[in-house]
Amino acid sequence: MRRLQAGVSAGLMTCAAALAQTPVERPEIVRLERDDLRIERSCVIDPSGEPIVDANGDGVVHIVADGVTVAFTRTPLLGAPAEEPHDELRGIAVRVLADNVTLRGAQIGGFKCGVWASGADGLAVEGCSFDGNFRQRLRSTPAAEDLSDWLWPHDNDANQWLDKYGAAIYVEDSQRVTLRLNTARRGQNGICLRRVDDSRVFDNDMSFLSGWGLALYRSNRNVVDHNSFDFCVRGYSHGVYSRGQDSAGILVFEQCSDNLFAFNSATHSGDGFFGFAGVEALEGANVEHKGLGCNRNRVHGNDFSYAPAIGIELTFSFDNVFDSNKLVGGNYGVWGGYSRRTLVENNQIEDNALAGVAVEHGRDWRISGNRFARNARAVELWWDEDKDLLAKPWAKANGAQSLDNEVSSNSFDGDVLALELRGGARAWFDGPAEAPTKVDEQSRLEREWEPRARAPLEDPRLSALPGTRVAVGARAQLAGRDKILVTEWGPYDWASPLLWRAADEGEAHVFRLLGPEVAMMVDAGPDVRMQSDVFEGAPRYKLSARKPGRATPYELKVRLPSRELTSRGVLLSSRWRIGVAAWQTDPREDAAKWREELESGALWFERSSLLLPYGNGGPSELAGAPAELAAARLPRERFGTLASTRVELPAGVWSIATRSDDGVRVRVDGELVIDNWTHHAPTRDEARLELREPRAIAIEVEHFELDGFALLEFELTPLER
């Protein structure tokens, strides 16, 4: 909060200085106490501090006159009470419908969108803060991904981004816009630009958001520099799954060309930079597809490290340049499917789990002068039978060969493979003879070629950047993907207090108290034993039940100087007996025979919780798998799980829930209560159990996996007591 206040104060000081230098009457102060305030002249708006509902969804403040300057006092403009759930926030704070408007110093919270400007050429938004606006409640947990959390950025011609996801600042159909010194926290999207050209976005900090820091759609010739778009992320649980779910620090969709992105930081974001030619470019009707894409963009001097998915992704596009960027510690450094004439030069590409640079169906790539280190593959080029995409009009118009690629003048240090070619890919490579390579029979690696002349990388915009804020390296203390903690409301900001459940061991739960404040009191109730210590500089609390063999609901309370943090849970002090085996009989066709097959061949072990994040592996690859199970090397597909336990529950109404991929059945005392015996993506199923008196119940769980991702998670929580 202190950091946000500092940013707002700087914006207000800028505003005050500008007003003081203008030899005109002191601007009128307009008291804001109701919806639909119409602004037709320069003024200072003084919000009442009480929530003002945008009843008709068209904005609380309407700026309709050209050339006006509107400043705000330090009082926030609020659209809802602080306790309103973020996914229920609605309305627009400020609507701009005029040219050459300057908006300064607003503090906006509690809305679906902070500022929405349409047809606002020459707009300037400066020194504004957006805190606590709309964001979706995420269904993914630290244990498992929920596919419903994936974003859909592909359509925005009808402002779908605004309608579905909201934004701090949303500008459309405008030119020569300036956005600077703005901040956003505790929201989903920072800045969204639709059909915005020849504009400048600089010195902003739109970080710790659950969607996109900056999103461009059909926007061209813009300069984006010295901004922070860090921790714009969802779909990540360290060591469990790494998806990103189309969140991004910078999103560039549907034919955005000739933009410059320089010296921005977008670390720890789903993708650091996520670009896609667009739906119209690939398959739109009445379109000449040849040469369409997000073309001629320059991405220079940025930090896109620690991405759950990809540092830089830009597909189906032409003549883009990625140079002097930092791409460390993600799944991929660069992904460039189907793109042409792309230059990847002088980047730091290290510690990527899958590949440093990966290009499918790419042609005329020059990958030169980069520093590769400790990647699974430094460079990976390939062609495959991608039937759906190869059938698109774009591929038919532009081709999809993997030819004429150059990998030259790079350094390699500890990469498992320096270069892999497969599926018919061809490339020139001048790496050292001892550099490890892998080339299949269809592909060809050539070491002799005549270097092609390349135009020097000149861009006069780089010597006249408007931004001065140091963004790259400003959050160096948060290096590493382990710093990404995603709650049900989005990423943790490492500045506010958080009670984070770091481990669920069934019979024991482990919490960490994060943030700057010191606990004054910690209590979990008389039925819980609590041990405390310090881990990585933060207090840690381990809770366990005092009475074994039963379910023990608890409420952990941590009193801080500013607030009280609480977390509820249930300690299941029981043992699960778990059996796993491969199968041949399809359980959907003959469940009884399938179960007999499993019981006859199962390997059995015990755990204190039924939490089996198989992921893309199998039972033998589970963390902490017994030696016999690990040695059995059970398959990653077509396996099943049987699990049972007995636990004593207090009287009350209980929720029995599973998250599974694929089929799951749950029986309580022999009665079927959950039945999702299908091939499905990770899905949550729930049943209610009402106990009029305390008693022990027997729980049996069956689960089968067909193919792909696999998961089985069981939870038991009290609804009423």
Per-residue pLDDT tens digits for 29-52: 999 999 999 999 999 999 999 999
Helix (H) / strand (E) containing 396? helix 393-398
Kindly list the distances between the CA atom of residue 639 and the CA atoms of 569, 597, 598, 659, in Å, as whole numbers in the listed order: 31, 11, 9, 17
pLDDT bin (cut points 50, 70, 90) of residue 9 is very low
Residue 602 is which amino acid? A
Q: What residues does CATH 2.60.40 cover in the chain?
A: 497-572
Taking only the tens place, the pLDDT of each residue in 568-620 is 888 887 789 999 999 999 999 999 999 999 999 999 999 888 889 888 889 99
- What band does 240 get if pLDDT is binned at 50, 70 and 90? confident
Kindly report, residue by residue over 440-471, the tens digit of the pLDDT. Answer: 999 999 998 777 777 778 899 999 999 999 99
Cβ contacts of residue 721 below 8 Å, gap of 6+? 553, 650, 651, 652, 653
The closest alpha carbon to 181, from 302, 19, 7, 15, belongs to 7
CATH code, residues 497-572: 2.60.40
- Residue 330 is encoded by which pair of tokens? 């993600």
**How far is the C-alpha of 189 from the C-alpha of 544, rounded, in Å?**
39
One DSSP character per residue, 64-98 reads -STT-EEEE-SS-EESS-TTS-GGG---EEEEE-S
In this structure, how many other beta carbons lie within 10 angstroms of the beta carbon of residue 481?
20
Are β-strands 683-691 and 652-661 bridged in parallel, bridged antiparallel, or unpaired?
A: antiparallel
Mean pLDDT of 119-136: 98
**Tens digit of each residue's pLDDT (9 = 90 or more) over 128-140:** 999 999 999 999 9
pLDDT at 420: 97
Report H helices in 186-329. 279-283
Gyration radius from the chain CA atoms: 28
Q: What's the mean pLDDT when you consider all of the chain?
A: 92
Q: What is the per-residue pLDDT for 141? A: 87
Note the pTM of the prediction, 2 decimals.
0.88
Q: pLDDT confidence of 21, banded at 50, 70, 90?
A: low
Calculate mean pLDDT across residues 528-553: 89
CA distance 150 to 211: 10
| pLDDT at 503 exceeding the cut of 90 | no
pLDDT tens digits, one per residue of 409-434: 999 999 999 999 999 999 999 999 89
CA 467, chain centre distance (Å): 26
Mean pLDDT of 272-279: 97
Please give the pLDDT value at position 685: 94
Strands (E), 383-424: 405-408, 411-413, 417-422
Closest by CA to 231, choosing from 487, 514, 7, 535, is: 487
Question: In CATH, what number does 576-720 get?
Answer: 2.60.120.380
What SS3 state is found at 657? strand
* pLDDT for residue 457: 83
Residues 6 or more apart whose Cβ sits within 8 Å of residue 284: 393
Confidence of residue 308 (pLDDT cuts 50, 70, 90): very high
Q: Which residue did the predictor score with more confidence, 452 or 718? A: 718
Contact 44, 27 (CB under 8 A): yes
Maximum CA extent, the chain: 91
- The rounded distance, in Å, linking the Cα atoms of 250 and 486 is 19
